[in-house]
């Protein structure tokens, strides 16, 4: 068993363990300003034809839950990476489009170009961690997260963005905000409960993943947020190959790659497709593949999530992946999350 933690006990681990506090502080600051309520009223009156949800990296993947919620509420919503939006889909910039732009820094190269390209053609709702950023200043309405400073890889900023987007969903879909706040307050402690066992999780995952060279993270629906972000942070944290995709997509080709060097992490997800995801785990094991299920019913302790409302699951689902980033780093004795080529804020397209 792994007993040496010194290599991983740095700034990135500190950020991971600060997530409960970041969520609490973000929740305490959430409100519904007049400008945001006005945009929501226009959306519900049919003044907007389309809601474009945009971001880059983990900010983009975090949009999966709100995308599903808006569509299920009856709105026409679409997720588009900001780089694709500003270069190839400029016709969407008009008065009939509502843009929800998510950026931790609010000043990435793509977000700055979005503001220049839009030039107030479309109404913009910003979700950002930086109050004085170009995005926050130019947006018609802004929801601020309170993740504080972050060392490198998105962890605090990602989970607080998910919380802010859940709040925004409630406003746009005209839900009872007091009930939403109560639900979030009730579920927030689940993050601390899971993280309290971080050393045991890292030890068991380091053992489980021994010999792994390639990781697949797969899910459906809102779990695509964790699949996409999870693969991204593993690559960033550990220089280790990982790919996020839908569970259905995994069956269409990657299933053929199963071997002793492949590990597949399957997110159980929401009831409509949970049985399908469980069946994928069974089928992988039947082919002697290596896999575990992430969810409240998981057998492997590090993948077992505390009980919470389904809307809180996207926040909890990323936690086992964060433990994987620590486990992979501990295996080779390197500090996770220290960038060598990338930067915290991407300022070049």
Residues 232 and 196 reside in one and the same domain: yes
Read off the pLDDT of each residue in 138-146 and give the average, rounded to a whole number: 98
Query: DSSP letters along 128-139, please?
Result: ES-TTSHHHHHS
Q: Which residue has the tokens 């929501």?
A: 40
Q: Is the pLDDT of residue 345 over 90?
A: no
Domain count across the chain: 2
- Per-residue tokens: 9: 């006990």
CATH number at residue 312: 3.40.50.10490
Three-state DSSP class for residue 98: strand
Model confidence at 141, pLDDT cuts 50, 70, 90, reads very high
Residue 9 in domain? no
Residues 207 and 87 reside in one and the same domain: no
Determine the pLDDT at residue 343: 72
Residues 70 and 169 reside in one and the same domain: yes
Model confidence at 338, pLDDT cuts 50, 70, 90, reads confident
Residues 304 and 252 reside in one and the same domain: yes
Residue 1 in domain? no
> What's the angle, vertex CA 136, arms to CA 56 and CA 339, rounded to 5?
40
Residues 175 and 271 reside in one and the same domain: no
d(CA 260, CA 211): 7
> What's the angle, vertex CA 58, arms to CA 135 and CA 349, rounded to 5?
60
Residues 159 and 208 reside in one and the same domain: no
Say if pTM beats, i.e. exceeds, 0.85: yes
Indicate the angle between helix axes 64-73 and 224-238, nearest 10 degrees.
170
- Per-residue tokens: 221: 């629906």
Strands 123-128 and 97-103: parallel
Residues 114-147 as b/e (b if ≥16 CB within 10 A, e otherwise) read bbeebeeebbbbbbbbbeebbbbebbbbbbbbbb
Residue 211 in domain? yes
From 187, 217, 239, the end of a domain falls on 187
Residues 290 and 217 reside in one and the same domain: yes
Determine the pLDDT at residue 2: 58
- State the chain's mean pLDDT as an integer: 96
162-184 confidence digits (pLDDT tens): 999 999 999 999 999 999 999 99
Residues 137 and 277 reside in one and the same domain: no
Residues 182 and 195 reside in one and the same domain: no
Of 270, 156, 171, 164, nearest to 223 by C-alpha is 270
Range of the domain at 268: 189-332
d(CA 203, CA 40): 46
Read off the pLDDT of each residue in 255-267 and give the average, rounded to a whole number: 97
From 187, 216, 249, the end of a domain falls on 187
Residue 52 in domain? yes
Residue 343 in domain? no
> What's the angle, vertex CA 312, arms to CA 248 and CA 237, rounded to 5?
70
Residue 124 in domain? yes
Share of the chain above pLDDT 70, in %: 99
d(CA 210, CA 130): 39
Three-state DSSP class for residue 291: strand
Q: Is the pLDDT of residue 342 over 80?
A: no
Residue 83 in domain? yes
């Amino acid at each position: 068993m792994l007993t040496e933690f010194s290599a991983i006990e740095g700034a990135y681990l500190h950020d991971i363990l600060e997530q409960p506090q970041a969520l609490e502080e973000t929740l305490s600051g959430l409100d519904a300003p007049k400008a945001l309520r006005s945009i929501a009223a226009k959306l519900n009156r049919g003044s907007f034809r389309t809601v474009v949800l945009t971001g880059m990296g983990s900010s983009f993947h975090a949009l999966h839950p709100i995308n599903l919620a808006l569509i299920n509420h009856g709105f026409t919503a679409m997720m588009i990476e900001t780089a694709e939006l500003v270069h190839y889909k400029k016709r969407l910039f008009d008065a009939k489009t509502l843009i929800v732009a998510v950026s931790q820094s609010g000043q990435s190269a793509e977000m700055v170009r979005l503001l220049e390209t839009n030039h107030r053609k479309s109404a913009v709702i910003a979700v950002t961690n930086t109050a004085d950023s170009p995005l926050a200043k130019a947006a018609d309405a802004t929801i601020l997260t309170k993740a504080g400073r972050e060392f490198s890889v998105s962890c605090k900023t990602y989970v607080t963005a998910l919380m802010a987007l859940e709040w925004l969903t409630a406003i746009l879909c005209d839900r009872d905000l007091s009930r939403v706040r109560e639900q979030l307050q009730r579920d927030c402690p689940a993050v601390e409960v899971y993280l309290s066992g971080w050393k045991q999780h890292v030890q068991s995952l380091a053992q489980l993943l021994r010999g792994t060279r390639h990781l697949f993270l797969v899910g459906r629906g809102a779990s695509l947020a964790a699949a996409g972000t999870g693969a991204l942070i593993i690559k960033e944290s550990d220089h280790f190959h990982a790919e996020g995709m839908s569970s259905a997509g995994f069956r269409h080709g990657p299933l053929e790659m199963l071997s002793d060097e492949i590990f597949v992490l399957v997110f159980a997800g929401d009831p409509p497709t949970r049985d399908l995801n469980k069946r994928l785990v069974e089928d992988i094991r039947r082919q002697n593949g290596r896999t575990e299920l992430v969810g409240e019913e998981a057998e492997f302790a590090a993948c077992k999530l505390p009980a919470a409302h389904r809307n809180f699951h996207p926040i909890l689902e990323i936690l086992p992946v964060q433990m994987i980033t620590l486990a992979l780093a501990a295996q080779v004795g390197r500090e996770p999350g220290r960038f060598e080529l990338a930067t915290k804020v991407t300022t070049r397209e």
